[in-house]
């Protein structure tokens, strides 16, 4: 295995009863790379993310983080080892303010801060994601993009080696989308390693170094966005065969 | 500690000091009421340490309390008296730990039902083992006075408040609040959710068992139906919710008026006590979902807004 491989999936499979949601997935993510995990709805992208983050156990195969096998690890241990994620439907802590939401990642994640140090650290990240001045706002009062920023700041607070963003750009209006893409771009420029599950094609083209395309739980293409997005099989997966109609 | 911290601790110490003077009033009636208040204050506060932040409603208080009374009932002749509450605390914590490991993966209503069943299970086991030995109950004849019981409960209350105050300021307290808000986020933030929940459940169960151990001499005669009375679990939940579980002092604010209310109901309508308890529960849930604490905080917020407007 190459020295700078952060994450590696080998034959990773997830079955729910008779349904094979993820079928023998293989891919590597190298350090500093932004990898797009794309494919039509129901193709197994989110399930793959759930397997990596420990939200679901894999049925077969092996997942390793910098050479350490994390296939059977619990979510909390995977987070402590340095994989942090956002959720497809934003999940914030409703009884807490923005600062405490971000501190949750800072106190218990990969980097474990506490007390005044955790506050200062979290405040820095609140500014970093563009929430300056809103540290003491209740999360229920935030706009949609701001709730996404809080979640992003919480995942960054654990200082992950690998960041998993599950449709982080979904549901944003065109102006917000531009802001959102710039924000992720700035994370990429910091040298962060990111897996991006995304439907927004503009974002995939401008953010991703490589793409893995899934269809019906299987990898059907892999490569730079420009190449895979013109791949006939990928187009067929998105638009369907003539036979399907 | 900062200056406001010293003020909080100092203020609490003065209040406890004043409460400790109650036995010198010379009134047996008020002392009896004081014991009831102290008992429910400890039970409701320790219940809220776990159930407040996590929102896991436990109906196992009676199980831990009963185990505590039996520790005293079985041990008071053989062991020095002062060891009994400590042994009861350990027994309660161990029982809570075992139950916690088995059940805290259950969520919501399943957890509630299990804890209610637990109290019944322990009661049946003790009834069964007593029947085998031919006894119905145990006499607990000690020279412990009412004042002695009251002071022990007050000391335990002080310890519980101090523990709660320290936990709220610790990583563990923060972890529990995150678990209460969203357990999935908690796990994905790196929190050992099972450990945090079991630890607090053990604290809560251990304290309830200590209360049982301290109160056993007052009962003089204990038997399973008295020691494990399920109504105790419900009373504790109602009082804690009436006060509000969002603040450490919340349950206490519920315990004091509720004890007077129960006292009034029990002396005027002795046969309708349970009915009144049920009605009180409905009223609290519908009208005061966040308890007195919620009312007080809303009033404070209104005052701040009014000041801002002026």
Residues written for chain A: 245
| Mean pLDDT value of segment A78-95 | 94
- pLDDT at residue B140 is higher than 90: no
Asked if the C-beta of A144 comes within 8 angstroms of chain B's C-beta atoms, the answer is no
More confident residue, B110 or B309: B110
End-to-end CA distance of chain A: 43
Q: Do A108 and B181 touch (CB under 8 A)?
A: no
Taking 50 as the threshold, does the pLDDT of residue B91 lie above it? yes
Residue in A53, A95, A96 closest to B188 by CB: A53
Per-residue pLDDT at B276: 81
Say how far apart CA A131 and CA A123 lie, in whole Å. 9
- Tokens of residue B273, six digits: 């006590």
Q: Kind and range of the H or E element at A156?
A: helix A144-157
The lowest-confidence range among A9-23, A100-114, B135-149, B280-294 is B280-294
Give the residues across from A15 on adjacent strands. A20
For chain A, give the mean pLDDT.
91
pLDDT range class, residue B4, cuts 50, 70, 90: confident
Provide, as residue numbers in chain A, all residues whose Cβ is less than 8 Å from the Cβ of B178: 93, 96, 104, 108
Dist. CA A172–CA A183, nearest whole Å:
13
The pLDDT, as a whole number, for residue A244 is 45
Say yes or no to pLDDT of A242 above 80: no
* CA distance, residue B309 to nearest chain A CA (Å): 20
pLDDT at position B10 over 90: no
* Mean pLDDT along residues B213-218: 95
Quote ipTM for the complex.
0.92
Q: For residue A93, give the nearest of B185, B187, B190 by CB distance.
A: B185
Q: What is the tens place of the pLDDT at every residue in B248-276?
A: 888 998 999 888 888 888 888 888 888 88
Ordered strands of the A5-16 beta sheet? A19-30, A5-16, A60-65, A68-69
Check CB contact under 8 Å for A108 and B190.
Answer: yes
Q: Do B190 and A158 touch (CB under 8 A)?
A: yes
Rg (Cα) of chain A, in Å, rounded?
18
CATH number 1.10.3470 given to B3-309: yes
Question: CB-CB: which of B177, B182, B190 is closest to A109?
Answer: B190
Distances in Å between the Cα of B183 and the Cα atoms of A55, A80, B161 are 12, 16, 26
**Size of chain B in residues:** 310
Among residues 183-242 of chain A, which lie with CB inside 8 Å of chain B? none
More confident residue, B137 or A14: A14
Rounded to whole angstroms, how far apart are CA atoms A43 and A199?
12
Are the CB atoms for B82 and B155 separated by under 8 Å? Answer: no
List phi, psi (to 5°) of A12. -70, 125
User: CA A84, CA A53: separation in Å to the nearest integer?
Assistant: 7
Enumerate the domain spans of chain B: 3-309
Residue A1 has pLDDT above 60, yes or no: no
How does DSSP classify residue A93? -
B307: three-class secondary structure by DSSP: helix
**B144-164 pLDDT tens trace:** 899 999 999 999 999 999 999
Q: Report, as an integer, the average pLDDT of B44-61.
A: 92
Q: Pairing mode, if any, of strands A194-197 and A162-166?
A: parallel
% residues pLDDT > 70 (chain B): 98
User: Model pTM greater than 0.90?
Assistant: no
- The DSSP secondary structure of B56-69, one letter per residue, reads -----HHHHHHHHH
Separation of alpha carbons A83 and A16, rounded Å: 24
Question: Is residue A8 classed as helix, strand or coil in its secondary structure?
Answer: strand
Arithmetic mean of pLDDT, B207-217: 97
Instruction: For chain A, list the domains and their CATH numbers.
Output: 1-80+162-169+192-245 (3.40.50.300), 83-160 (no CATH)
More confident position, B296 or A168: A168
Chain A residues touching B191 at Cβ < 8 A: 76, 108
Between strands A218-223 and A210-215, the pairing is antiparallel
Q: Which residues in chain A (93-112) have CB-CB distances under 8 A to chain B?
A: 93-96, 100, 103-105, 107-110, 112
| Res A245: pLDDT | 40
CB contact under 8 A, A75 and B188: yes
Probe site for chain B from A49, A93, A96, A158 (most B CB atoms < 10 A) = A93
* pLDDT value of residue B308: 62
Residues of B in contact with A138 (CB under 8 A): none
- B191/A84 Cβ within 8 A: no
Is A138 an interface residue toward B (CB < 8 Å)?
A: no
User: CA of A151: which chain B residue's CA is closest?
Assistant: B185
Residue from the list A76, A93, A96 with its beta carbon closest to the beta carbon of B187: A76
d(CA A184, CA A186): 5
**pLDDT class of B1 with cuts at 50, 70, 90:** low
Among candidates A96, A108, A114 on the partner chain, residue whose Cβ is nearest the Cβ of B189: A108
- Span between the terminal Cα atoms of chain B, in Å: 35
Count other Cβ atoms within 10 Å, centred on residue B86: 13
Contact between B190 and A76 using a beta-carbon 8 Å cutoff: yes
Confidence of residue B310 (pLDDT cuts 50, 70, 90): low
Average pLDDT over residues B193-211: 95
Q: Is the predicted pLDDT of residue B247 greater than 50, yes or no?
A: yes
For the record, the structure tokens of B48 come out as: 């809220």
- Which candidate from B184, B190, B193 shows the least CB-CB separation from A80? B190
Return the DSSP state at A96.
S
Residue in the block written with tokens 């109160």:
B215
Shortest distance between the Cα of B203 and any Cα of chain A, in A, equals 22
Subunit contact A93:B171, Cβ cutoff 8 A: no
Distance CA B38, CA B43 (A): 9
Share of chain A above pLDDT 70, in %: 97
Distance from CA of A84 to the nearest CA of B (A): 7
Displacement of CA A154 from its chain's centroid (Å) = 13
At CB < 8 Å, which residues of chain B contact A? 171, 174-175, 177-178, 180-182, 184-193
Name the average pLDDT for chain B: 89
A185 neighbors A25 (Cβ within 8 angstroms) = no
């Amino acid at each position: 295995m190459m020295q700078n491989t952060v994450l590696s999936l080998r034959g990773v499979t997830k079955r729910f009863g008779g349904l094979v949601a993820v079928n023998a997935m293989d891919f590597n993510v190298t350090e500093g790379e932004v990898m797009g995990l794309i494919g039509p709805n129901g193709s197994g992208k989110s399930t793959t993310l759930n397997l990596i983050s420990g939200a679901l156990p894999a049925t077969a195969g092996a997942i390793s983080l910098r050479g350490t096998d994390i296939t059977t690890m619990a979510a909390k241990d995977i987070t402590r080892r340095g994989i942090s994620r956002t959720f497809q439907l934003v999940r914030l802590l409703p009884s807490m303010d923005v600062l405490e939401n971000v501190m949750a990642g800072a106190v218990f994640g990969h980097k474990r801060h506490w007390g005044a140090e955790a506050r200062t650290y979290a405040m820095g990240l609140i500014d970093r994601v563009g929430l300056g001045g809103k540290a003491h706002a209740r999360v229920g009062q935030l706009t949609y993009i701001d709730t996404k920023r809080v979640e992003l700041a919480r995942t960054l607070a654990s200082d992950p080696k690998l960041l998993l963003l599950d449709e982080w750009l979904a549901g944003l209006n065109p102006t917000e989308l531009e802001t959102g893409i710039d924000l992720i771009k700035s994370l990429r420029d910091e040298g962060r390693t990111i897996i991006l599950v995304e439907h927004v094609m503009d974002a995939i083209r401008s953010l991703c170094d490589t793409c893995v395309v899934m269809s019906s739980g299987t990898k059907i293409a892999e490569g730079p966005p420009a190449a895979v997005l013109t791949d006939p099989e990928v187009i067929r997966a998105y638009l369907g065969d003539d036979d399907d109609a | 500690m900062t200056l406001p911290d010293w003020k909080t601790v100092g203020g609490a110490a003065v209040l406890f000091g004043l409460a400790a003077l109650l036995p010198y009033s010379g009134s047996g009636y008020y002392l009896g009421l004081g014991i009831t208040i102290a008992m429910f204050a400890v039970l409701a506060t320790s219940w809220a340490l776990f159930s407040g932040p996590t929102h896991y409603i436990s109906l196992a208080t009676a199980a831990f309390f009963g185990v505590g009374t039996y520790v005293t009932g079985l041990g008071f002749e053989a062991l020095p008296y002062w060891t009994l509450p400590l042994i009861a605390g350990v027994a309660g914590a161990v029982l809570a730990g075992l139950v916690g490991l088995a059940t805290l993966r259950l969520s919501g209503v399943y957890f509630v039902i299990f804890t209610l069943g637990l109290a019944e299970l322990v009661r049946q086991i003790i009834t069964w083992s007593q029947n085998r030995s031919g006894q119905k109950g145990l006499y607990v004849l000690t020279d412990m006075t009412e004042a002695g019981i009251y002071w022990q409960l007050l000391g335990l209350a002080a310890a519980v408040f101090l523990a709660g105050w320290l936990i709220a300021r610790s990583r563990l307290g923060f972890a529990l609040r995150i678990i209460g808000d969203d357990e999935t986020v908690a796990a994905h933030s790196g929190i050992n959710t099972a450990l945090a929940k079991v630890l607090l459940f053990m604290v809560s169960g251990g304290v309830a068992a200590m209360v049982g151990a301290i109160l056993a001499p007052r009962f003089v005669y204990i038997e399973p139906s008295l020691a494990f009375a399920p109504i105790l679990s419900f009373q504790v939940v109602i009082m804690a919710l009436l006060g509000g579980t969002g603040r450490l002092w919340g349950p206490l604010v519920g315990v004091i008026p509720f004890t007077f209310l129960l006292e009034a109901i029990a002396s005027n309508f002795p046969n309708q006590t349970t009915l009144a308890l049920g009605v009180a529960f409905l009223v609290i849930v519908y009208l005061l979902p966040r308890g007195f604490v919620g009312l007080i905080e809303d009033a404070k917020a209104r005052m701040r807004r009014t000041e801002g407007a002026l």
